[in-house]
């Protein structure tokens, strides 16, 4: 059911994925990481050395690849676990270009809609509440100061053994913001009917609690 979908949109490093996973767990919903679908596609394009200018090859690739998630939330590409492979610097620097391609977005939007038809989901991304699932009943936009987002992303990459500097990560975040907000197809925007949460000085648990409380309040209000 559409009204059993919670959407979380926002820029890079805002903590969407972490928050979404915890919200899903507390609500008893499934979690869909839409960013991972684009990253997996990007990984496949790189591995098969396909030019993003070659539309025919891209279509053939999209028709043949299989992207899925296992019970633990790991990302599967053609039945191979690629959870860590899609979080490298190479993928980070290329995924925006891939996700801006109309042929890729059309395929991914259809994939994401098909997945969420099967039950209750918390879905995070950059155009979920505006394009992918515009009729979702529970919409949130997660934001934070760019320095705070860069700090979080830097800590995340360091914890995964990725060697990088804060300055490199901040530039990557700023570049991603600019690209995502200015692209012609499905740009990053705040859904007009979303609750905006600035997480700059909030803990992850505080953000999760606020979202869960609002979802339960709205649900209870509609039942009455």
Instruction: Identify the domain containing residue 207 by its residue range.
Output: 2-223
Q: What is the pLDDT of residues 182-224, one digit of tens each?
A: 888 888 899 999 999 999 999 999 999 999 999 998 877 766 5
Q: Which two tokens stand for residue 122?
A: 């918390």
pLDDT at 34 > cutoff 70? yes
Helix H or strand E segment including 198: strand 195-198
Q: What is the mean pLDDT of residues 43-51?
A: 96
CATH number of the domain that 92 lies in?
3.40.50.300
Q: What is the pLDDT of residues 108-123, one digit of tens each?
A: 999 999 889 878 999 9
Instruction: Note the pLDDT of residue 82.
Output: 95
pLDDT at 26 > cutoff 50? yes
pTM over cut 0.85 = no
Tokens 């979404």 sit at which residue?
Answer: 20
Confidence of residue 3 (pLDDT cuts 50, 70, 90): low
What span, in angstroms and rounded, lies between the C-alpha atoms of 211 and 188? 21
Q: Is 77 helix (H, G, I), strand (E, B) or coil?
A: strand
| Total domains in the fold of the chain | 1
What span, in angstroms and rounded, lies between the C-alpha atoms of 201 and 25? 23
What span, in angstroms and rounded, lies between the C-alpha atoms of 162 and 44? 21
């Amino acid at each position: 059911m559409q009204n059993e979908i919670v959407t979380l949109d926002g820029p890079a490093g805002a903590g969407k994925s972490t928050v979404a996973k915890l919200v899903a767990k507390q609500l008893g919903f499934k979690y869909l990481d839409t960013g991972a679908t684009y990253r997996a596609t990007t990984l496949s394009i790189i591995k098969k050395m396909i030019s993003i200018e070659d539309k025919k090859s891209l279509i053939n690739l999209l028709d043949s690849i299989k992207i899925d998630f296992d019970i633990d939330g790991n990302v599967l590409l053609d039945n191979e676990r690629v959870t860590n492979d899609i979080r490298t610097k190479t993928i980070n620097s290329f995924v925006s270009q891939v996700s801006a391609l109309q042929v890729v977005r059309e395929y991914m939007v259809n994939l994401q809609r098909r997945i969420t038809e099967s039950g209750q989901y918390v879905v995070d991304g950059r155009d979920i509440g505006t394009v992918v699932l515009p009729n979702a009943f529970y919409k949130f936009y997660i934001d934070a100061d760019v320095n705070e987002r860069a700090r979080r992303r830097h800590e995340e990459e360091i914890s995964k053994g990725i060697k990088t500097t804060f300055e490199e990560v901040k530039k990557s975040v700023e570049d991603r913001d600019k690209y995502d907000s200015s692209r012609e197809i499905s740009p990053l925007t705040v859904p007009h009917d979303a609750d905006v949460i600035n997480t700059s000085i909030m803990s992850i648990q505080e953000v999760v609690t606020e979202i869960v409380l609002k979802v339960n309040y709205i649900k209870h209000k509609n039942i009455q």
